[in-house]
Amino acid sequence: MTTRALAPVLSAALALVLVGACSPDATIDEGDARGPETTAGVRASLAAPDPSAIAEAAAFGTWRPAPIVPTPALATSMEDACRADATVGDLPLRVLDARGLGLATLVFAGDPRVGAVLCRAAADSPGSAVTVDVRAVAGSAGAVPPEDRKLGIHDLEVVDQATNPRVVLVGTIGDGTHSVEVNHDDATWTKARMTNGWYAVWWPLAKEAIGVAASDSKSIVIDSFAP
C-alpha cells in the first residue's frame, strides 16, 4: 500500500483516538483521589511523635523498672515544690528519679558536713499541684565520700503502705560506677537514676529486693549490699 493510500486510514485512526479521549467514559487522572482530608490524616499519622506527650505518659503511667526523663515543666514544678520547704532551700539538686505514677524522688545536698535532704514529690496529672514529703537523708551528715568504684551511705524506707506501698532508696556512689541496680527475687532488675555522685530508685513493695549492685562500664559488679 502506498503512502497516499495510508493517509485515509491514519486519519480515521486519529479521529477515533480523539473521540475516545473526549468520551464521558474516558479515564481522567485527577491526582490524589483520597481528597485533602484523607491526605492530611495520612500526613498526621506519619508525623514525628510529640516528645512531651511521650514523657508525660511515662511519668504518669505505670511503674517502670528504668528511670524516665520527665518534661522540664514537671521537673521544675517538683523541684520548686521541694524548695518551698525550708529544709531544702537553695541546696543543689543532686538527682531526680521519676518512673511512673506521678512520683519522683529528689536528693538535695551541699556541704557534706551538713548532710543531704530527701524529697518525695507527687502529682496527679500534668499541671496539677505537687505535694512533697521532705526529710534528712539518714547518715549523710558528716559522711565520708565513697571511694572510687564503691557505694557509700544509703537510706532505704518503705512508704505509702496504705495507698502505694513502695520502697524508696537513695545513696552515694564513687567515681567509676557505671550503674546501680536492684536485684529482685523474681530474677528482674530495677535500674536507679544516677547523677552528681548520688543514685535514687523506688520499686513496688511486692517486688522483694535481694541485693543492690554497682557495676562498671563492662557490667561487672564492683560493689553491692543486701537492702
Across the 227 residues of the chain, what is the mean pLDDT of every consecutive 10-residue run? 45 42 43 52 65 92 97 97 97 98 97 93 96 97 95 97 93 97 97 98 97 97 96
Beta strands in the chain (DSSP E): 93-98, 103-109, 116-123, 130-136, 151-159, 166-173, 179-184, 189-191, 193-195, 198-204, 209-215, 221-225
* 77 within domain boundaries: yes
Task: Please tell me whether residues 28 and 85 are part of one structural domain.
Answer: no
* 3 within domain boundaries: no
Task: Please tell me whether residues 112 and 78 are part of one structural domain.
Answer: yes
Query: What pLDDT digit, counting tens, does each position of 105-133 carry?
Result: 999 999 888 899 999 999 999 999 999 99
Supply the range of the domain harboring residue 107.
53-225
